[in-house]
Chains A and B, each alone.
Chain A
Amino acid sequence: MMRRLGTIVALAAVALLAGCERYATPESLRGGGTGAPIALTSQSITLPDETVTLPASADIVTVNCTACHSPDLILAQPKLKPEQWQAEVTKMRGAYKATIDEQDDGKIVAALLALQK
């Protein structure tokens, strides 16, 4: 799906970096493009601690479902039917290779439903 971009125009050679020509869109000229080279410096961050936990009654969910993502994702889901929760458990196992014992599915689904009460 080759598509045209009529809006990119060549700017008269403004050498920014050795031997580097500059192209810009008209919008960048109006929209605050500085034209300056972008300085790149190393970055390092620390993510905040997670504080959301599930109640003890949902231990089986904590154990099986919070290794890959925080439990707020589970609490944020709209009300799902048992078969929809089962489909999520099956998807976690199939798509993302979660090692969830199939024998626990019933208990996990029940606990997920209870969390939404």
Chain B
Amino acid sequence: MAEWLRQPIARRSALTLGAGALASSPLWAQLLVDLGFSQGDGRRPLTDAFPGKRGMILQRARAPLLETPMAAFDGELGASTFTPNDRFFVRWHYADIPLSVDVDAFRLQVGGAVNRPLSLSLKQVQALPQVEIAAVNQCSGNSRGLFGPRVPGAQWGNGAIGNALWTGVRLRDLLERAGVAPGAVQVQFAGLDRPPGDAPWFAKSLTIDHARADEVIVAYGMNGTQLPLLNGFPLRLIVPGWFSTYWVKALDRITVLSAPDTGYWMDKAYRIPATPRASVVPGAKDFPTVPIGRMLPRAFFTRADAGGVRGIALGGDAGVAKVEWSIDGGKSWHAAQLGHDAGRYGFRRWAASVPPGAQTVAVRTTNTSGATQRFDPIWNPGGYMRNSIETMKVTQA
């Protein structure tokens, strides 16, 4: 059996933590999950201790990194594809995060290369035309713990991802009100989190054309209600089809730039090899890099039982065209059933009945641009952009 077939991706079980089983496990975390990493190092506590969150995999207490268990995404084909706010993953870089936001005092600044700098209250933001879009938010390093050879960083399983219905205003409408000056090349975004000491501020930038695209919004709503503080209340940038690093949380500063952003978080961090699939030979150094950007298609398992296998899929920066399954290592593929289409940037549910017996099921998504998934894993030193085909061992009666 090929190595990829043996990847213990599906070994995720909640075990009761025996007294003293893991000395370093916080007292407020009572269950463990096993993310199935190669060195037997995938055990993590499950926690209800973070405000507005329940049943989250604790990756780091400070700054909070909370992962969504795959079971939280499970549902019938016809079920909603939206991830509940209290199960949505959490990812902050710096420990100094906003723990309190006064909605009357909050202001969104739009400045830099603009004709009329703005300082907008939330009421003024909400007075702009309201738009809604379903979109998947996925951490650039989602699935990093499954890289081989392993790389340092947050050791996420597959759950640094979620899909929500985002409500807000178009970034373009805000930029138009400020009046973009000639010569603008990028737009930079920063939020209420603060770096320790002299570390660089967290800020990310999009090209001016991307910033003006229809689907890029400044959201104040997540699944019909305000965002949890841990997910970026009161405003969050939504960049459908692109990795989460650009979805700046607690967004309070939009700066139009007339020269490219050379800050640490664009110039040094979140960069991927400028190669197909962002992949280089393990251990490679000194290759050309580009900032990470668009997402790739993926399919995940959320459940396997006597009724078959099912899960969720995303197209990346395009819609899900099809999801297929294979039980012969990819020699033949069969169409899975698809759930309803909540828009090109959202999750799509899939389900399949597989023949009786014990087998390894592989599942892959092809998106509407024709991009698909492959078995062979990618590698890069940042542990970014994994999208190789997921497999699961199942026994059908």
Task: Give chain B residues whose Cβ lies under 8 Å from the Cβ of A42.
Answer: 100-104
Q: How many residues of B contact A (CB 8 A)?
A: 87
CB distance from A39 to the nearest CB of B (A): 7
Q: Are A25 and B152 in contact (CB under 8 A)?
A: no
Task: Give chain B residues whose Cβ lies under 8 Å from the Cβ of A37.
Answer: 126, 130
Q: Is B358 close to A, CB under 8 A?
A: no
Chain B: CB-nearest residue to A29: B132
B:119-144 near A, CB below 8 Å? 122, 126-134
- A78 touches which of B41, B50, B210, B268 (Cβ 8 Å): B41
| Given contact pairs A28-B133, A37-B126, A8 touches B62 in the complex (Cβ within 8 A) | no
Q: Is B1 close to A, CB under 8 A?
A: no
CB distance from A69 to the nearest CB of B (A): 6
Q: Are B155 and A76 in contact (CB under 8 A)?
A: yes
CA distance A80 to B150 in the complex (A): 8
Q: Are A45 and B199 in contact (CB under 8 A)?
A: no
Q: Are B131 and A24 in contact (CB under 8 A)?
A: yes
- B229 touches which of A32, A43, A73 (Cβ 8 Å): A43
* Interchain pairs with CB closer than 8 A, number: 207
Task: Give chain A residues whose Cβ lies under 8 Å from the Cβ of B13.
Answer: none
Mostly, the A contact residues are loop
Q: Are B224 and A3 in contact (CB under 8 A)?
A: no
CA distance A52 to B26 in the complex (A): 6
Q: Is B209 close to A, CB under 8 A?
A: yes
CA distance A36 to B126 in the complex (A): 12
Task: Give chain A residues whose Cβ lies under 8 Å from the Cβ of B207.
Answer: 1
CA distance A26 to B346 in the complex (A): 12
Task: Give chain B residues whose Cβ lies under 8 Å from the Cβ of A67.
Answer: 196
Q: Are B225 and A69 in contact (CB under 8 A)?
A: no
Q: Are A32 and B224 in contact (CB under 8 A)?
A: yes
Q: Are A25 and B343 in contact (CB under 8 A)?
A: yes
Task: Give chain A residues whose Cβ lies under 8 Å from the Cβ of B167.
Answer: 33, 38
With most chain B CB atoms within 10 A of its CB, the pick from A26, A70, A84 is A70
- B214 touches which of A4, A50, A95 (Cβ 8 Å): A4
Contact with B along A18-50 (1 / 0, CB 8 A): 111111111110111110111111111111101
Chain B: CB-nearest residue to A1: B210
Q: Is A88 close to B, CB under 8 A?
A: yes
Chain B: CB-nearest residue to A51: B26
B:36-73 near A, CB below 8 Å? 37-39, 41, 44, 47, 49-52, 58-65
With most chain B CB atoms within 10 A of its CB, the pick from A46, A78, A99 is A78
Q: Are A45 and B51 in contact (CB under 8 A)?
A: yes
Contact with B along A73-92 (1 / 0, CB 8 A): 10111111000100010000
Task: Give chain B residues whose Cβ lies under 8 Å from the Cβ of A84.
Answer: 152
Q: Are B150 and A79 in contact (CB under 8 A)?
A: yes
Contact with B along A45-68 (1 / 0, CB 8 A): 111101111000000000000011
Q: Are B129 and A34 in contact (CB under 8 A)?
A: no
CA distance A71 to B37 in the complex (A): 20
Q: Are A75 and B24 in contact (CB under 8 A)?
A: yes
A-B contact pairs, 20 of them (CB 8 A): A2-B210, A3-B210, A3-B214, A24-B132, A25-B133, A27-B133, A31-B81, A33-B224, A40-B220, A41-B103, A45-B99, A48-B26, A48-B28, A72-B58, A73-B154, A78-B39, A78-B151, A80-B152, A96-B196, A97-B199
Q: Chain A: residues with CB nearer than 8 A to chain B?
A: 1-5, 7-8, 16-28, 30-34, 36-48, 50-53, 67-70, 72-73, 75-80, 84, 88, 95-99
Please name 5 further chain A to chain B contacts, defined as beta carbons within 8 Å, in addition to the given A19-B127, A68-B94, sorted by A numbering.
A5-B213, A22-B130, A31-B346, A32-B165, A84-B152
